[in-house]
Amino acid sequence: MYRFFVCALGIAGTVLGQSVDSYISSEGPIAKAGVLANIGPSGSKASGAAAGVVVASPSTSNPDYWYTWTRDSSLVFKSLIDQYTTGIDPTLRTLIDDFVSAEAHIQTVDNPSGGLTSGGLGEPKFNVDETAFTGAWGRPQRDGPALRATALITYGNYLYSSGNTTWVTDTLWPVIENDLGYVVSYWNQTTFDLWEEVSSSSFFTTAVQHRALREGAAFATTIGQTSSVSSYTTQANNLLCFLQSYWNPTGGYITANTGGGRSGKDANTVLASIHTYDPAAGCDAATFQPCSDKALSNLKVYVDSFRSVYSINSGIASNAAVATGRYPEDTYQGGNPWYLTTFAPAEQLYDALNVWAAQGSLNVTSISLPFFQQFSSSVTAGSYAASSTTYTTLTSAIKSFADGFVAINAQYTPSNGGLAEQYSRSNGSPLSAVDLTWSYASAVTAFEARNNTQFAGWGAAGLTVPSTCSTSGGGGGGGGGSTVAVTFNVDATTVYGENIYITGSVAALSSWSTGSALLLSSANYPTWSITVNLPANTAVEYKYIRKNNGAVTWESDPNNSITTPASGSTTENDTWR
């Protein structure tokens, strides 16, 4: 059933290398075709989807992924736009233009998160005919607009430099401007993470928002649309500052979410590193570049967290690749490895190897030392030139380590090359949604990284973290002044289809609106939770509400009330009344 097996995944050498080379040569075209098959209207598995719409998966039950997600679609089209703008595939122009048109329309569709100018860009998914999905969901998800802006800016830079300036300013820029404006206004508001489970602040979201505003400011300047450049730069600085707060120095890893009650070890962080990779930034730690000491330390902790979780990982050496999933506590669809999360460490390591080769050296710090000591127990902190034996030893071992993740996925890829969402933690058989578009795209980008295919950077080089940080958003979303993180926990039992929301007396709590009230996470049911950034040193009133198929039920009087602290964070533990 399977293409081939690699018995000694921890062994470096020609056998593993040839196996990975063989897999990539056959799987690469299959993955690219898998992406294209899931894009409407002509994709072979996307019949009924509108032009330029990316279907997450053809699966319509258990799970039903017959929708288009802004995040997934933007990541998929970023990979296609990269191929088009670098000349790898010059046939993609029409498809990309269809995507631009589709997203321009979707931006205007009123949905449960709001309208174009009232928060609707944070709606995570839509029906494949571009109409609003109105069922209960983890909303909003604030990474989508940033990722879409990044994809379209890459396209816009290419077209503008090619002389197609009018179309860029008249057609493309308005779509990008909407997304950047959303990020400016809402970056400091609570968001569901990319797995749609935890409502708090998310490292992945913060990282991609920071990237979008940086490259947005440069792009706007290039095309002469400078009215908002100052706000983009101001909030980018605030985002860079906030990004540092996710680092856990004691554990040596990036905490993926500020809420959720889990360890915080999560593929979210590795995915953020590869999707904010800028070759020109070297091993910059402030933006958690793939070869930075923090990103490497984080990768080790993330990978190690799965060594004893899945039975298919048993017997694998402690410094060899293993199958990885979203996070070790995962139970979704049985809590299994994902193809895209196992490709992600490989891609991060390939990116790191490419940067080290370009700069002719690598640096080991006290933070990254445990990562490097996996491959040479005697290595010490210091800088190692490419001419040194230590450099050769480390990079050769790390290349084999990276290839090991690809080999793991190869081992559990069916003979037809199809990539589902997950594969069984016990025997490796494909599980969950079939032909997941994001799985295919993750294979494409990992293989390109291994090949050191160069794509455009985004301005991550030379950035300085501000000495003082503001956590206030811009525009109408975040308000002014300093804010503090308040976690609301409420004990509430619910019936099927019913969800718990919060609303209150300040804008961050939707100003008593039921329509835009904030949905709490049920990850720790019957405790429902959310973390919201509220104005510091402020008296705030709030209430929880229930929603069930449009019916709204308020908890009984009186209002709950708190006075937020002047700094730091606080938690409110309530019981539904």
Report DSSP letters for 332-401, one per residue: GGGT--BHHHHHHHHHHHHHHHHHHHHHTEEEE-TTTHHHHHTT-TT--SEEEETTSHHHHHHHHHHHHH
168: Cβ–Cβ under 8 A, 6 or more apart, which residues?
A: 156, 159, 160, 223
Helix H or strand E encompassing 500: strand 498-504
Q: Cis before residue 328, ω within 30 degrees of 0?
A: no
Q: Which of 21, 89, 97, 196 is catalytic?
A: 196
Q: List, as residue ranges, the binding site.
A: 137
- Cα(269)–Cα(273) distance, integer angstroms: 6
Is-contact 75 441, C-beta < 8 A? yes
271: Cβ–Cβ under 8 A, 6 or more apart, which residues?
A: 194, 204, 341, 344
Sign, Cα dihedral of 432, 103, 31, 212: negative
Q: List, as residue ranges, the binding site for substrate.
A: 137
Among 347, 330, 524, 351, which Cα is nearest to 421's?
330
CA 208, 340, 524, 247: dihedral to nearest 10 degrees? Answer: -40
- Cβ atoms within 10 A of the Cβ of 221, count? 13
Active site residue 193: yes
Is-contact 367 295, C-beta < 8 A? no
Beta strands in 20-140 (DSSP E): 67-69, 125-127
- Cα(422)–Cα(434) distance, integer angstroms: 9
Q: Which of 123, 193, 197, 266 is catalytic?
A: 193
Active site residue 196: yes
* Token pair for 421: 């969402």
Which residues are the active-site residues?
193, 196
